[in-house]
Chain A
Amino acid sequence: MSIRKLNACLLTGAAAMATLAAAPAFAERGTDGELKLLLWQAPSTLNVYLSTGVKEMLASSLILEPLATFAPDGEIVPRLAAEIPTVENGGISEDLTSITWKLKDGITWSDGTPLTAEDVKFTADYCMNDEGGCAQAAKFEGVTSVEAVDPLTVKITFNSPRPYPYAAFVGAQAPVLQKAQFENCTGAKAATCTDENFGPIGTGPFRATGFKTNDVVTLEASPEYREADKPAFANVTLKGGGDSTSAARAVLETGEYDYAWNIQLAPDVLEGMLAAGKGKLEVDFGSTVEHILLNMSDPSPELPEGERSTLKHPHPILSDLKVRQALSMAIDRQLLNEIGYGETGEPTCNMVPNPEVYASDNEDCLTQDIEGAKALLEEAGWTVGGDGIREKDGRKLKLLFQTSVNAVRQDFQALIKQWWSEIGVETELKTVDASVYFGSDPGSPDTIVKFYADVEMYTDVYDGTDPGSFLAERSCEAIPSPENQWQGENNARYCDEEYEKLIAEMAQTSGIEARAELAKKMNLMITRDSMTHLPLIARGRVSVSSNRLGGVQMNAWDSEFWNVADWYRAEE
C-alpha cells in the first residue's frame, strides 16, 4: 500500500514533467515499483542465441544488449557502441570487407565487471561455433573473423564486400554475452548450461532473479546500469500463457497487466476493449505487407506437370499490363484496411513501405477507380459477354484466387471478388491450410511457390531495415521451377533485365541514401510499373499498454522493449 502511495506521489510529478520532457528528469532508479508484462507465448530461455522465437528475443532484451539497436524509424542508434561505424568515419573499410566498432567507455556487467571487446569476440565465436546450433547464425553469415583490437575496439571481417554490414551485434537478436559466464558453454555444451541460459548476466537495465520455463520471468533493476537514474521500475514480472484475446483483456479491460505483446484481434473486437478506457494501442509499422501476386506464367492444369506455372508458358490473361492495372484499380485498399486491420494497418502501394527513407512516394493505387478499370479492360480488348463476364478471342476473363485459411483473408477474398466482378472479371476462390500453403513440400500443388493459381495473397516481411536482399529475391534466377526444385522467392515469376541490373548495382552500393534511392526505384518497378505485385496493407506490430505506463515507444524493427529503461509509471 505504502509503495503505491509513494508511486502516486511520484507519478503526479512525473506526469507533470513528462509534458515538458520525454522522461521524468528527477526520477530515480527503482522508484516506480513493479512492471507487469504479459507475453501470451512465454519464453523458453533467456539466451536469445538458443531460440529463433520472438518471445525469447523480447525477454532477453531486458537483460542483454547489442552494440546498436534499430530505432522505431528504422535508424540505427548506438547502444554499447560509442558511435555507428560508416565509411565516412572510417568504421567501415574502403573495400567494404570489414567493420570496426568502438565500445562506450565504462560499461559494466550487472555483476560489476567491465565489458570489453573480448566479450564481443567471444559472443561471435559462441554463435559461429558449428556444434552449437546457434539460432541467430544468419546474423553472423559471411563473417570470417572477429578480433579484439584493444579492450574497447572490435573488428569484424567479412569474406566478401558487404555494402550493408549492420547484422552482427545490431538489434536484440544478436546481443553481447559475458565471456566469463559462458566460457564453458560453447559448442555442443551450449544448450546444457541451464543456469547460464536461464540467468544470463547482461549490461541491460534489468537482471534476472527467477526463471520458470514457459511460464514466468522475474527481474529486478540492475544496480550497475550505466544511467544512474534508470530504470524507473524496481521489478519486472514477465508472465506467459493465455491467448491474444485474454492478454488484450488483461491490459485493456481488467488492468491486471501493464503491457501485452502481439495482439491480433479484429478491429471491432479491439475497439470494444479500448472503450473501457484503461489502455491504448501501441502500433509501429515495419516491413510487413499483405499483398497480392499476379502470376506471370500459365498455371493451367491442361499443361503437362513440370511446365505449369513456369516461364515456358506466359500467362494468357495476366501477361497484359492493362489487365493487371485494371485489377489493381478495382481494389479499394482503404476499405480493406478498415475491415481487416483498422488502426493496426494502413493501406499501401509499396512492397517496401518502411522505413521512411526507403519508401517510394507512390499513392496512386489508394483510390479505387472502377470506371477506369473497365475502360482499361475495354482498351485491352476484353469486352463484356452475355453473362457479364468479359471475353476476348473466346476466352473468358476468369481467375483462380488462392490464399491461406484465415478469417481476415477470406473477407478480403470476398470483397476483391466482388470488385472484380463489377469490372467483369470472374473469380474462383480457393483456400489452403496455412501449413500446406506456406510449406516447402515440393510435391504439394498448393504451395505459394508452386503458384498453381492466377492470383495469390499472403504477407511478406524481411529481416532488418535494409530491403536489399528482399528486393534481390525478385530476380529471374529466383523464379521457382522444377529445375531448382521449386526453390526461390520470386513467386510472381517477375523477370525484367532492367531490374536485374539494379540488383547488381544494389550489391555494390554502400551508404543509406544511395541504397534508398535504388530501393525506391526497384520497389516502383515491381509495383507501380509492372503491377505484378499488388501491395494492399502495411501491417503494424501491435501491442497494448496500460494508461498507467509511460515512455513506451513501439518499435517494429527491434525488440519492443528496446527503451524499457525509459519506461515509467504514469498517472492515469
Chain B
Amino acid sequence: MTEIERQQRMNTGELIEETAGAAAATSALPPDDPQIAGGETRSQWRDVWRQFRSHRGAMVALVLFVGVLLFVSVGPWIWTLDPTYVDIRARNTGFTAAHPLGTDQLGRDMLARLMAGGRVSIAVGLTAMLIAIFLGSTIGVLSGYFRRLDAPLMRVTELFLALPLLPLLLLMVTLFREPLSQSFGPAMGIFILIVSAIGATSWMQSARIVRGDVLGLKEREFILAARSIGTPPRRMILRHILPNVLSPIMVAATLGIATAIITESALSFLGLGFPPDFPTWGRLLYDAVDQMVLYPSRVILPGIFISLTVLCVNYIGDGLRDAMDPRIRGR
C-alpha cells in the first residue's frame, strides 16, 4: 500500500468517525475527548509527523539538514584541528589525508573551518529567524486582531520597511559593539548584536503576511462561533488564530534563515560582523573570492553549505506547511 493510499484511507476513516460521532449524539453526549473516543490514539503532532513523512522532498531535506547540524556540532569533536591554527608550510594544499578539504592561503584547515563556520552561521540564522518570527507574528496578530492597534502597528511596520538597513546596522554596531563585547566577550557580544540587529530589521514582511491572514480568518464562522461562546481574546489567538496562520509563518521563517545567513556574511564583509579570526560560512566565501580562479574549491565548499542549508530549511518548511494545513493534506 503506498503512502498516499494509506493517507486517503485514514482520511476516510476520520470522516466516518466524525459522522459516527454525530450520529451517536442522539444516544449519548459526546465524550470529553473525541480523539480517544475514535479508538486509535492520535495526537495532533503525531498526525503532522505522519503527514510530513509523506512529503518526500521534505524528508530528504530533513535528513540533509540533520546531517549538516551533526557536521557542525559533533564534527569538531571528531576532527579536532583548530580552525584558526595557521600552518604556513601547508598553505594552499589540495585534498590530502592530513587536510581532507585542503587548506586556505594561510594553511588553515578547511574542514575545521567549515565546521566552525557552520556553527556560527546556523546559530545566527536560527536565532535571528526566531527573533524575527516572534516579533513579526506578534505584531501581525495584534494588528490583525485588534482593530485599534492596527493603524499604529502597521505604520511602525512601514517605518521599519522604509529604514535603510545598512546605515542602521552600522549605527548599531558603532553604538553597541564595545559595551556588548565588554559584558559578554568579543565573540558573544558580536553574536548578540548581529542576531538582534538582523532580527530587528527583518520581521516586517512576516508581520504583514500574518496580519493579512488574521484579517481574513477573523470573519470565518468558527471564529464567530468561538466568540459567541465567550472565548477571551488570549485564548482566541492562541487556540484558534495562531494554529491557522502557522503555515505562512513557517514559510516566512524558512526564508528568514536564508536571509539571516546571507546578511551576516555581508556584515562580515563590511567589517561590521564577527572578528576576522572567527570563521563563518559567509566570511569563508568572501575570503576565497580573490583566489577563485586558482582554488575554486574554497568558494564552492562554503557556497554549497550555505545553499544546502537554505534549500533544506525551505523544503522542511514546505513539508511542514503541507502537513499542518488540513485543507491541502494529501494533495
Q: Which A residues form the contact surface with B (CB < 8 A)?
A: 266, 268-269, 272, 301, 335, 339, 404-405, 407, 410-411, 413-415, 417-418, 428-434, 437, 444-446, 452
Query: How far is the CB of B2 from the nearest CB of chain A, in Å?
Result: 54
**Inter-subunit contact B271/A404 (CB<8 Å):** yes
| Chain B residues positioned under 8 Å from A335 (CB to CB) | 88
Pick from B86, B270, B294: contact of A415, CB under 8 Å: B86
**Pairs of residues from A and B, 4 with the lowest C-beta to C-beta distance, nearest first:** A405-B271, A431-B271, A410-B276, A433-B271
| Chain B residues positioned under 8 Å from A430 (CB to CB) | 275
Contacts A407-B290, A418-B84 known; list 14 others, CB within 8 Å.
A268-B291, A269-B290, A272-B293, A301-B178, A339-B88, A405-B271, A415-B106, A428-B275, A429-B275, A431-B276, A433-B270, A445-B174, A445-B178, A446-B174
> In the complex, what distance in Å separates the CA atom of A404 from the CA atom of B84?
20
**Inter-subunit contact A339/B271 (CB<8 Å):** no
Query: How far is the CB of B302 from the nearest CB of chain A, in Å?
Result: 15
1/0 contact trace for B116-152 toward A, CB 8 Å?
0000000000000000000000000000000000000
| Chain B residues positioned under 8 Å from A407 (CB to CB) | 287, 290
> In the complex, what distance in Å separates the CA atom of A466 from the CA atom of B275?
38
> In the complex, what distance in Å separates the CA atom of A256 from the CA atom of B174?
47
B interface, how many residues as a size bin? 20 to 34
> In the complex, what distance in Å separates the CA atom of A98 from the CA atom of B11?
102
> In the complex, what distance in Å separates the CA atom of A430 from the CA atom of B277?
9
| Chain B residues positioned under 8 Å from A452 (CB to CB) | 178
**Inter-subunit contact A415/B88 (CB<8 Å):** yes
**Inter-subunit contact A418/B294 (CB<8 Å):** no
Query: How far is the CB of B185 from the nearest CB of chain A, in Å?
Result: 9
| Chain A residues positioned under 8 Å from B270 (CB to CB) | 405, 433
Q: Knowing A301-B182, A418-B86 touch, does A411 contact B105 (C-beta < 8 A)? A: yes
Q: Can you report 26 residue pairs joining A to B where beta carbons are below 8 Å apart?
A: A268-B291, A269-B291, A269-B293, A272-B293, A301-B178, A301-B182, A339-B91, A404-B271, A405-B269, A407-B287, A407-B290, A410-B276, A411-B105, A413-B277, A415-B88, A428-B186, A429-B275, A429-B276, A429-B277, A431-B271, A431-B275, A432-B271, A433-B272, A434-B271, A444-B174, A445-B174
Query: How far is the CB of A300 from the nearest CB of chain B, in Å?
Result: 10
Q: Which residue of B lies closest to A406 (CB)?
A: B271
Query: How far is the CB of A389 from the nearest CB of chain B, in Å?
Result: 15
Query: How far is the CB of B190 from the nearest CB of chain A, in Å?
Result: 10
Tell me if B85 is interfacial: C-beta within 8 Å of chain A: yes
> In the complex, what distance in Å separates the CA atom of A269 from the CA atom of B290?
8
Cβ-Cβ contact count across A and B, 8 Å cutoff: 65
> In the complex, what distance in Å separates the CA atom of A444 from the CA atom of B177?
12
Query: How far is the CB of B120 from the nearest CB of chain A, in Å?
Result: 15
| Chain B residues positioned under 8 Å from A432 (CB to CB) | 271
Q: Which residue of B lies closest to A416 (CB)?
A: B86
Query: How far is the CB of A282 from the nearest CB of chain B, in Å?
Result: 22
Question: Which B157-186 residues have a C-beta within 8 angstroms of A?
Answer: 174, 178, 182, 186
| Chain A residues positioned under 8 Å from B182 (CB to CB) | 301
Question: Which B100-123 residues have a C-beta within 8 angstroms of A?
Answer: 105-106, 108
| Chain A residues positioned under 8 Å from B275 (CB to CB) | 428-431
| Chain B residues positioned under 8 Å from A410 (CB to CB) | 276, 287
Question: Which B260-292 residues have a C-beta within 8 angstroms of A?
Answer: 269-272, 275-277, 287, 290-291
| Chain B residues positioned under 8 Å from A446 (CB to CB) | 174
**Inter-subunit contact B106/A414 (CB<8 Å):** yes
Query: How far is the CB of B117 from the nearest CB of chain A, in Å?
Result: 14
**Inter-subunit contact B178/A266 (CB<8 Å):** no
> In the complex, what distance in Å separates the CA atom of A452 from the CA atom of B178?
10
> In the complex, what distance in Å separates the CA atom of A431 from the CA atom of B268?
9
| Chain A residues positioned under 8 Å from B277 (CB to CB) | 413-414, 417, 429
| Chain A residues positioned under 8 Å from B174 (CB to CB) | 444-446
**Inter-subunit contact A272/B294 (CB<8 Å):** yes
| Chain A residues positioned under 8 Å from B269 (CB to CB) | 405
**Inter-subunit contact A266/B291 (CB<8 Å):** yes
**Inter-subunit contact B186/A418 (CB<8 Å):** no
Q: Which residue of A lies closest to B272 (CB)?
A: A433
Pick from A268, A431, A434, A437: contact of B92, CB under 8 Å: A268
> In the complex, what distance in Å separates the CA atom of A433 from the CA atom of B269?
9
> In the complex, what distance in Å separates the CA atom of A301 from the CA atom of B180?
12
Q: Knowing A339-B106, A407-B287 touch, does A414 contact B84 (C-beta < 8 A)? A: yes
| Chain B residues positioned under 8 Å from A445 (CB to CB) | 174, 178
| Chain A residues positioned under 8 Å from B293 (CB to CB) | 269, 272
